[in-house]
């Protein structure tokens, strides 16, 4: 599958910031304030509220009116929708945010952006565009985070991603969505396999024989796409204050050992299962069959586990190339596969 395209030069270097909110009243004001004070000023904010029951909508309306008065160049688009979940909500935002934009940045409602966040990401994009000399592949930028608690106190940096790439992406996500920026080519590739966040309710099929349900998270899906068909850039300098509090689901801590322990716990208490990862791999394969035979084989070997006994699972454990960020995590994953968990 070829995803290289010749893109016209864009004179208005605007970035679309994509924010999905849900009952975010506690921390939303801090996030919006940090967006308003970005050093890079050529941005629009696209917000989809996912059925909030608190005063989130009022805060968003107030912010939109304030920006219209004080920063009319920064447009705020607000859609108050029904509750469809974070994955479908970001899918909808990705679809609705029509430009032209040079890039799209994902955003979470309870973080705080450092003032230089957008500027650094755009600078990386400019370097890529210059080096690509007009032929652009899907491209993704992500960065490290300063970790803060519920009160906003910084207690460390997130660990660096380790052993990334497609053989990692098929079984683990190491891209933190709220730090991501992607180019138009990745957005178009992303949307080429997408119909509607309500497709499941309408009985439609997003993938041949599948609904959108196998997609675990929108940022994981982007990581899969770019590791198979594009280029990825990691910025080791923190770009956001990533809030870890009682409702956080992402296992991110300050040390490699603690990260492994948290991920091990998350694997045991996960809301997804091994079968969910296999379903996601199958959905990806059916929609985006890689031309690279090695990548196709990597997906097919996972998909084959959906209907396999202990002998085939043991063969997978011995021969598989897929890996998580550490060897211990990889071993744990393969044990779960063997046990059919």
- pLDDT given at position 312: 86
Q: How confident is the model at residue 1 (pLDDT cuts 50, 70, 90)?
A: very low
- pLDDT given at position 50: 95
pLDDT at 249 over 50: no
Residue 5, domain member (yes or no): no
* Global pTM value: 0.85
Residues 249 and 303 in one domain: no
Residues 174 and 320 in one domain: no
Residue 171, domain member (yes or no): yes
Q: How confident is the model at residue 8 (pLDDT cuts 50, 70, 90)?
A: very low
Boundaries of domain holding 267: 10-276
- Does residue 100 or residue 196 have the better pLDDT? 100
Residues 57 and 196 in one domain: yes
CA distance 307 to 313: 10
Joined together, the tokens standing for residue 320 give 């598989």
Residues 263 and 290 in one domain: no
- pLDDT given at position 135: 80
**How crowded is residue 126: how many other Cβ atoms within 10 Å of its Cβ?**
12
- Which has the closest alpha carbon to 141: 156, 157, 159, 127? 127
Residues 312 and 190 in one domain: no
- pLDDT given at position 229: 94
CA distance 157 to 130: 31
Residues 6+ away with beta carbon under 8 Å from 241: 111, 112, 113, 114, 145, 146, 147, 148, 152, 154
70 burial class (0-12, 13-18, 19+ CB within 10 angstroms)?
Answer: exposed
Q: How confident is the model at residue 308 (pLDDT cuts 50, 70, 90)?
A: confident
- Does residue 294 or residue 140 have the better pLDDT? 140
pLDDT at 201 over 90: no
Residues 178 and 324 in one domain: no
What dihedral do alpha carbons 141, 234, 121, 9 form, nearest 10°? -50
Q: How many structural domains compose the chain?
A: 2
- Which has the closest alpha carbon to 223: 144, 170, 298, 276? 170
CA–CA distance from 61 to each of 38, 80, 328 (Å)?
20, 11, 48
Residues 262 and 290 in one domain: no
Residues 272 and 295 in one domain: no
- pLDDT given at position 94: 92
R_g of the chain computed on alpha carbons: 20
CA distance 45 to 75: 6
Q: What is the pLDDT of residues 26-53, one digit of tens each?
A: 999 999 999 999 999 999 999 999 999 9
Q: If you count them, how many residues does the chain have?
A: 341
Residue 136: strand pairing partners? 5
131 burial class (0-12, 13-18, 19+ CB within 10 angstroms)?
Answer: exposed
CA distance 163 to 166: 10
Residue 128, domain member (yes or no): yes
Average pLDDT of the segment spanning 304-329: 88
Residue 3, domain member (yes or no): no
Joined together, the tokens standing for residue 326 give 């550490």
Q: What is the pLDDT of residues 278-287, one digit of tens each?
A: 999 998 998 8
Residues 109 and 232 in one domain: yes
- CATH (domain of 206): 3.90.550.10
pLDDT at 262 over 80: no
Q: How confident is the model at residue 320 (pLDDT cuts 50, 70, 90)?
A: confident
**Lowest mean pLDDT: which of 102-111, 213-222, 226-235, 266-275?**
266-275
**How crowded is residue 29: how many other Cβ atoms within 10 Å of its Cβ?**
13
Residues 242 and 207 in one domain: yes
Q: Are 98 and 16 in contact (CB under 8 A)?
A: no
The overall average pLDDT reported for the chain is 84
């Amino acid at each position: 599958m070829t995803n290289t395209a010749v893109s016209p030069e864009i004179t208005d270097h605007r970035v679309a910031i994509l924010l999905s909110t849900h009952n975010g009243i506690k921390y939303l004001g801090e996030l919006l304030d940090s967006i308003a004070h970005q050093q890079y000023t050529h941005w629009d904010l696209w917000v989809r509220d996912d059925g909030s029951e608190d005063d989130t909508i009022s805060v968003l309306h107030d912010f939109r009116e304030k920006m219209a008065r004080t920063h009319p160049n920064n447009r705020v688009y607000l859609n108050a929708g029904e509750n469809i979940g974070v994955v479908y909500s970001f899918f909808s935002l990705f679809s609705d945010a029509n430009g032209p934009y040079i890039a799209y940045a994902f955003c979470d409602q309870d973080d705080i952006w450092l003032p230089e966040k957008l500027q650094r990401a755009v600078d990386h994009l400019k370097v890529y565009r210059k080096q690509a000399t007009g032929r652009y592949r899907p491209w993704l930028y992500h960065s490290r985070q300063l970790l803060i608690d519920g009160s906003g106190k910084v207690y460390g940096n997130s660990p660096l991603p380790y052993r990334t790439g497609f053989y990692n992406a098929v079984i683990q996500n190491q891209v933190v969505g709220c730090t991501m920026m992607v180019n138009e080519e990745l957005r178009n590739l992303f949307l080429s396999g997408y119909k509607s966040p309500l497709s499941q309710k309408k009985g439609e099929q997003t993938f041949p024989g599948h609904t959108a349900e196998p997609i675990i998270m929108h940022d994981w899906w982007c990581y899969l796409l770019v590791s198979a068909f594009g280029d990825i850039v990691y910025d080791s300098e923190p770009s956001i204050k990533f809030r870890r509090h009682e409702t956080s689901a992402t296992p991110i801590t300050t040390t490699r050992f603690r990260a492994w322990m948290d991920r091990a716990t998350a694997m045991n208490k996960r809301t997804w299962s091994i079968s969910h990862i296999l379903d996601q791999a199958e959905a990806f394969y059916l929609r985006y069959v890689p031309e690279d035979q090695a990548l196709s084989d990597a997906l097919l070997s996972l998909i084959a586990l959906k209907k396999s006994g202990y002998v085939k699972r043991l063969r997978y454990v011995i021969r598989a190339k897929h890996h998580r960020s550490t060897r211990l995590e990889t071993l744990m994953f393969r044990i779960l596969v063997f046990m059919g968990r």
